Structure 1
Amino acid sequence: MEKTIAIIEDDKDILELVSLHLQKAGFKVKKFTDGESFFRYLRTDKPNLLVLDLMLPDIDGLEICKSLRIDPETKEIPIIILTAKIEETDKIIGLELGADDYITKPFSPRELVARVKAILRRTSTEEAKHEIITIADNLKIDLNRMEVFVEDEKIDLTLTEFKILKLLAQKPGWVFSREQILRSIWGDEKNVYDRTVDVHIKNLRDKLGKFGKLIKSVRGVGYKIDVE
């Protein structure tokens, strides 16, 4: 089934460039030059992934990201931030608000397409077996539905957060280095840093509440789930 990629980018040259390469890769594309028109589109349809510029004429891109993540209807849409802002703090804020990845301008269109494909592969449940992992009795991870429950209450995680939790939970007590987590979640994608893992872990701990303490930091190495 053809996947739909939404692009919000006010620079029309960049918008057409990204659109062209995604279409060549077999995707259906919806183009927007501002946030308002994108939100009108969401009233009747929903994309499989969003490529989001941060500097827009009407709505700050970070606000769009935040709005999508708090809405139950749109919270699971993967988001790739495409921005000219190169400061690490901007990237960190984007990740903390729930973005799955970021690319800084100038960028390689081929790399962008590769990252879109990689994220969509991660969102697919076709290869997942129907299995529920239970940790400490009241933390349950449904691998097939990609849902997490704490004391029978569903917890809203981004796709990247879910993948990290799944990785750790499948081998309780096993210490995963940041490099192992990066390789498992992002594969051979470039420009993904150790700090990215730390940000997603922090968000994951916060969302899991008292169960967040099960995710232990191993100084100088990485992370593990400690069930003892």
Structure 2
Amino acid sequence: MRGLTDAGPSRGPASAQAVITAAAVLAALALFAVACGTGGTGARDEGPAHADSVGNAPAAKVPAPNPSQSYDKINAVALVKADPAVSATVKRDLKPCSGNAYPVDVTYGNLTGGTVDDVVVNVLTCGDAGGPGFGVGAYVYRNESGAYLNVFKAEESPVYAEIDKGDLSVTKQVYEKGDPVSSPSGENVITYSWAAGHFVQQDFHHTDYGNAAGGDTQDPSGTS
């Protein structure tokens, strides 16, 4: 038993020293953790570390916009004159106004959802100054297997067609009896959308020019 009691006192100082050393290490670790957590001058600084991680991260991929329709320029005059759907009168009157300039407006755009842009052709008269006048025919051509097919026509003069946000907008001037060509009484605007292989009317509105176009000046109430 003496050996046991002698062994106790001889190991006491070493055990105490080990306890003190372990406590000191734990205290140092605690202080280090506090410094890091408060964003101070510790080894871990949240701000710069976060900025570095963002700066080195690969850039986010933004989806590329859909490619535009392919654009095939056409000879609109030859197309109209070869089109059996165009009236003989329009073909006969389609002549240059001055020099080799034909009174034809051509617009390319996506109206029918094809892989190639559709073509809107407006045939006009020749104006007094040699330039284009008013529309006598409006046509839409869709490319099918490399050939252009007439999918819309309007020949109720004066008429003009254009592309409006993916829809076909057709404007027709309205004349009352006695109206000069330069002063229609109003206009009709008809909007068409492509559906099930053809254009379908979606909207219609009429504008009455009234007095602005030299119309009737009588008071609407019936009194002058």
TM-score, normalised on structure 2?
0.25
Bigger share in helix: 1
Q: Relative to total residues, which structure has the larger strand share, 1 or 2?
A: 2
Structure with greater contact order relative to length (CA < 8 Å, sep ≥ 6): 1
